[in-house]
Amino acid sequence: MQDFGTKVEVNIEDELKSSFLDYSMSVIISRALPDVRDGLKPVHRRILYAMYSEGILSNRRYSKCAGVVGEVLKKYHPHGDTAVYDTLVRLAQNFNMRYPMIDGQGNFGSIDGDPPAAYRYTEARLARIAEEMLADIEKETVDFIPNFDESTQEPGILPARVPNLLINGSAGIAVGMATNIPPHNLREVVDGLIALIKDPNISPSALMKYIPGPDFPTGGFIHGRGGIKTAYTTGKGIIHVRGKVLVETHPRTNKTSLIIVEIPYQLNKTRLIERIADLIRNKKLEGISDLRDESDREGMRLVIDLKRDADPAVVRNQLYKHTPLQDSFGINMLAVVDGRPQVLTLKRMLGLYLKHRREVVTRRCLFDLRKAEDREHILNGLKMALDQLDAVITLIRESKTPPEAKNGLIKKFKFTERQAQAILDMRLQRLTGLERQKILDELKEVRKDIKRLREILGSETKILEVINRELQEVKERYGDDRRTEILAETEEIGIEDLIVEEDMVVTISHTGYIKRNPVSLYRAQHRGGKGKTGMGTKEEDFVEDLFVASTKSNILFFTNRGKVYCRKVHEIPQAGRSAKGKAMVNFLDIEQGEQVQAVLPVKKFEDGRYILIATAKGLVKKTDLMAYQNIRVCGLIACIIENGDELIAARLTDGQREVFLASRQGKAVRFKEDQVRPMGRAARGVRGMKLAKGDQVISMEVLSEGATILTATENGYGKRTNTDEYTLHSRSGQGMIAIRTSDRNGQVVSALQVTDEDEVMGITNKGKIIRMSVRDISVIGRATQGVRLVSLEGGEKLSAVCRLAEKED
């Protein structure tokens, strides 16, 4: 029976912990994470060293990748050939590596995600910059360790004359941790290292003046510096990157196209194209007529042809919002430091690299000093021999054997064993005068080198000067311009950025239905026409308000109770011409019994502008526009409304205009706005017009030069009157007659200012809309009855006349 040895009982939990920790550390140290000193994982280091050892250098011919992979597997990396070849390929890809370490020949894959050719077809050699990683490795600058089978040795680290960890970055997933270090610009990193050498106490913000942020090989934009600063000061942060999209107009066809010339780092171009195509098919991307890839050796060029009516800015924002053309990059600066994984700040990472270079330079100087001192020793012996040449030659001639001659030189002339051997090895041509002088000159130069090396080794400042000089040489030799542009601020793409800006007709019914439609839906008609239905309503309902505004404008909704709500025009539901729209109670968070009485399109909030409010009882109030900038979803108080009163109008003003109030019984008053002082949102206001019993204010206008007042009555009659006919009075007066409210005319429904260039909309209580040119309406006296504006059917009444607003309004 076979004896398997003594059994040892262990706790399975303890064994699992121990085994898993051993496995984890093996993955972390020996596979997944880069060393902070040379920025390489073991497999990268082994590939570079194997190629260096085989003499596959930048100035030699290319060598088959199959041979490189075989050499790495044979001597250094006991893993699969696929892992080694994939790593070698990535080191050669200029879209993955900011500064490629391998110079490849053949198919090494593409940014489209095409795989590389098999390693039997491709060839490679070291890039020049990779040789800088291995420079001075033969001068005992780094420690060597046994390979996996102890048949040879491999470097535990590379001398790394270039700061590889930052300039090429690194990505890797270990056990329970991951690293994701972005690539940087070599010139900037060198400048940062030099600044740290000059001032070891430099602040992170000062360091960022030299290293402003990552520099990706594929270019693009980084939006915002906040994530960069967080990453550099804590080791972790998130940055937002975007591809570069240009707008081109074809000179012959005048068609507009979006050209994608740069994409975010590590984005597969083919997948981006497929994503855009899917969005076009699913109608999530509109305004695109064609998509094609015109990329070639000159660079990337994805062409997106736009339809005639498409807005390039909106389509570009849709691309950023719905495709990986805008992405986030999570920075996690994790690297191996003294055999342990650590999250590093930018300054500490640079400091650890400089510490490594100090050690490399020190060890190199010690090696060179040792070699120089050894050479000096030999040259001193040769010089002594030349000084007493005849005696030395005589001794050698009289000696029977070389050992006898060697011993004789040592005993008689006090040469060391190595000096004596060097004398015996010296060729006769060295005895000529010219050769003797060369020995003396060489001795002089060697002594200079020894003095220089001792000075360097005796001074920390001198060592840093050497590092500084070598970094400058690397910068001049391999440095290039930044490819990734860093923009100062990040602007989140909101729903507004995805909306095409166009004018919309917004209609609101008396019972609280709202909708929007393009203004082009309504065609102009002549005065007296039958009109076109603009909103389907119930018999007891009628269209109460209508205005035109841009899709990106803010809309302030003022209710009869003095509250104000804010929404965007594009948030209003779009419905057909005959549809009712959406119930206001479902669109705004309004209270029961509350009704919207006035709406005000505001393109943007700015200082020096006011909102003027009027109530049915003749009160007016002026409030700074900025007071309405931040309105909650549930609304704010715009004006304190007394019992029996209600808000009827709100207008934008600059505070220096004239105000016009009109009442239902045909009265009007005109006064200067500066008679109303600015007050807070919660104020009640002051009297603007004194009303007769049973009368109420139905309209308020802020007058403009050259305008006329269009007054309309419920029976479809109206007129235009010059504003000069309304005498300027102080506020709080009863006013004067604006139009005769006879049986023919009925009560006044609207009084608004218009110009000859305006068009107006007339709305009836049955939901019909007629669009009229103001030029077709007569300008007549103030106290007259007016002319027919709208032909009404039996029982139909005119409910309102509204001016088609300009975009700026």
Residues 791 and 657 in one domain: yes
pLDDT at 577: 65
Structure tokens at 537: 């309503």
- For 370-385, letters b (16+ CB in 10 Å) and e give eebeebbebbbbbebb
| Neighbouring residues of 196: CB distance < 8 A, sequence distance ≥ 6 | 202, 207, 347, 350, 351, 354
Determine, yes or no, domain membership for 337.
Answer: no
Which of 289, 324, 359 is the endpoint of a domain? 324
Rounded Cα distance, 247 and 304, in Å? 10
pLDDT given for residue 279 in this prediction: 92
Is 113 found in the same domain as 33?
A: yes
The 3-class secondary structure across 567-627, one letter per residue, is: EEHHHCCECCCCCCCEEHHHHCCCCCCCCEEEEEEECCCCCCCEEEEEECCCEEEEEEHHH
The reply to whether 389 falls in a domain is no
Tell me which H or E stretch contains 787: strand 787-788
Among residues 52, 62, 99, 121, the one annotated as catalytic is: 121
Look-up of token digits 């009297």: 687
Rounded to whole angstroms, the Cα distance separating 518 from 514 reads 14
Q: Is 607 domain-assigned?
A: yes
Could you say which residues of the chain have pLDDT below 70?
Answer: 1-6, 19-30, 433, 489-500, 510-511, 520-545, 576-578, 585-586, 804-809
- Asked whether residue 166 falls in the same domain as residue 279, the answer is no
pLDDT of 730 reads 86
What are the C-alpha distances in Å from 590 to residues 512, 587, 644, 739? 11, 9, 19, 36
Structure confidence at residue 23 (pLDDT): 62
CA gap 666, 717 in Å, rounded:
13
Q: Does residue 773 lie in a domain region?
A: yes
Q: Residue 714: which CATH number?
A: 2.120.10.90
Q: How do strand 485-487 and strand 221-223 relate by DSSP bridges? A: parallel
654 phi, psi to nearest 5 deg: -100, 0
Q: What is the spatial distance between Cα 724 and Cα 629, in angstroms, rounded to a whole number?
A: 36
The rounded distance, in Å, linking the Cα atoms of 170 and 185 is 14
Q: Please indicate, yes or no, if residue 124 is contained in any of the structural domains.
A: yes
| Residue pLDDT, tens place only, 341-387 | 999 999 999 999 999 999 999 999 999 999 999 999 999 888 888 88
Q: CA–CA separation, 278 vs 267, rounded Å?
A: 17
Using DSSP's 3-state secondary structure scheme, residue 557 falls into: strand
Check residue 500 and give its pLDDT.
Answer: 66
What count of residues does the chain have?
Answer: 809
| Tokens coding 647 | 């808000």
Asked if the structure places residue 104 within a domain, the reply is yes
Q: What is the pLDDT of residues 151-188, one digit of tens each?
A: 999 999 999 999 999 999 999 887 778 899 999 999 99
CA distance 700 to 616: 10
Query: Do 653 and 527 belong to one domain?
Result: yes
What CATH number has the domain bearing residue 110?
3.90.199.10
Which amino acid is located at 376 in the chain?
E
635 and 711 housed in the same domain:
yes
Q: Are strands 768-773 and 532-533 parallel, antiparallel or unpaired?
A: antiparallel
CA dist., res. 346 & res. 327, Å (int)? 23
Same domain, 159 and 251: no
Are residues 256 and 176 part of one domain? Answer: no
Predicted local confidence at residue 543, as pLDDT: 57
Please tell me whether residues 161 and 256 are part of one structural domain. Answer: no
75 and 159 inside one domain: yes
Q: What is the pLDDT of residue 524?
A: 47
d(CA 658, CA 704): 8
For residue 302, give the CATH number of its domain.
3.30.1360.40
121 is annotated as an active-site residue: yes
pLDDT on residue 30: 66
Contact by Cβ (8 Å): 710, 751: yes
Q: Are residues 623 and 706 in the same domain?
A: yes
DSSP state of 338: T
Domain assignment of residue 99, given as a range:
12-181
**Which of 158, 181, 204 finishes a domain?**
181
pLDDT value at residue 806? 43
- Using alpha carbons only, what angle is made at residue 487 by residues 484 and 490, rounded to the nearest 5 degrees? 125
CA-only gyration radius of the chain, Å: 43
> Are 163 and 278 in the same domain?
no
In a domain, 407, yes or no: no
Question: What pLDDT was estimated at residue 520?
Answer: 67
Is residue 64 in a domain? yes
Token reading at 440:
């003396």
Last residue of a domain, one of 324, 340, 370: 324
Give the span between the Cα atoms of 722 and 777, in whole angstroms: 13
In our burial notation (b when 16+ CB lie closer than 10 A, e otherwise), range 124-152 reads bbbbebbbbbbbbbebebbeeeebeeeee
Number of domains in the chain: 3
Residue 696 shares a structural domain with residue 781 = yes
At residue 168's C-alpha, the angle toward residues 70 and 49, to 5°, is 30
Beta bridge pairs of residue 728: 670
d(CA 687, CA 645): 13
Name, in order, each residue with C-beta under 8 angstroms of 192's C-beta and a sequence gap of 6 or more.
207, 210, 211, 346, 350
Give the distance from CA 14 to its chain's centroid. Answer: 48
